[in-house]
Chain A
Amino acid sequence: EPEVTQTPSHQVTQMGQEVILRCVPISNHLYFYWYRQILGQKVEFLVSFYNNEISEKSEIFDDQFSVERPDGSNFTLKIRSTKLEDSAMYFCASSTRLFYNSPLHFGNGTRLTVT
């Protein structure tokens, strides 16, 4: 069964460094998302992406964050200058249709630790 793959599975970085989290969505999916989960807290929406542009972003997704689909398969999340509070599990997801008509398929996540 097709799946969403995320790399790396764990990333440790120093505060102020840039990180890029990578995702390969399911090949025929059109909608792409990033969510995050801080340890012990709820999963939070970051951004949705469709047709090569951001559809919606949350208040969390400030100027330090950016997303890109550089080619036909990868979908990346960049954090320009990481803060301690960015430490979380970051999940990439994709779907065939808009989220309320089609389930999101999630990757296994990247655990980001900012020291």
Chain B
Amino acid sequence: SQELEQSPQSLIVQEGKNLTINCTSSKTLYGLYWYKQKYGEGLIFLMMLQKGGEEKSHEKITAKLDEKKQQSSLHITASQPSHAGIYLCGAAELPNAGNNRKLIWGLGTSLAVNP
């Protein structure tokens, strides 16, 4: 079955620094989602990528999906304390006769931003 690995597992940065989180799949991704989870709270949707080479940005966060659709990165520019939380990547497994209706998830990257 497909596995998603995220790196690093945790990250502490100084406010204003840039950072990158990676998500790697053992198989080709059909769709890749980035979510943010604040401690003890729900998952907040950030971005969805579907095409190889696709790149999307929202405010200071940019997500990319490589051409082979096996790796995605999440880049935060000029980090702020409000960016702190756990970043999760989720992926759709390749459809299997149209019956595969679930997302699989990475373990998450815990980000702390020191003021």
Mark A1-42 against chain B: 1 for CB-CB distance below 8 A, else 0: 000101000000000000000000000000000010000011
Name the interface size band of chain A: 20 to 34
Contact A99 B106 (CB under 8 A): no
Measured between C-beta atoms, what is the minimum distance from B62 to chain A in Å? Answer: 17
Contact B45 A105 (CB under 8 A): yes
Contact A99 B43 (CB under 8 A): no
Stretch from B17-25, B74-82, B96-104 contacting the other chain: B96-104
Contact A91 B42 (CB under 8 A): yes
The interface on chain B, measured as residues whose beta carbon lies within 8 A of the other chain's beta carbons, has a size of 26
Measured between C-beta atoms, what is the minimum distance from B9 to chain A in Å? Answer: 11
Measured between C-beta atoms, what is the minimum distance from A73 to chain B in Å? Answer: 18
Quick one: which of A6, A58, A100 has the most chain B CB within 10 A? Answer: A100
Measured between C-beta atoms, what is the minimum distance from A26 to chain B in Å? Answer: 12
Measured between C-beta atoms, what is the minimum distance from B3 to chain A in Å? Answer: 9
Contact partners of A109 in chain B: CB under 8 A: 41-42
Report if A65 contacts B (CB, 8 A). Answer: no
10 sample A-B contacts, Cβ–Cβ < 8 Å, listed by A number: A43-B90, A45-B104, A99-B103, A100-B30, A100-B31, A104-B45, A106-B35, A106-B43, A107-B42, A108-B42
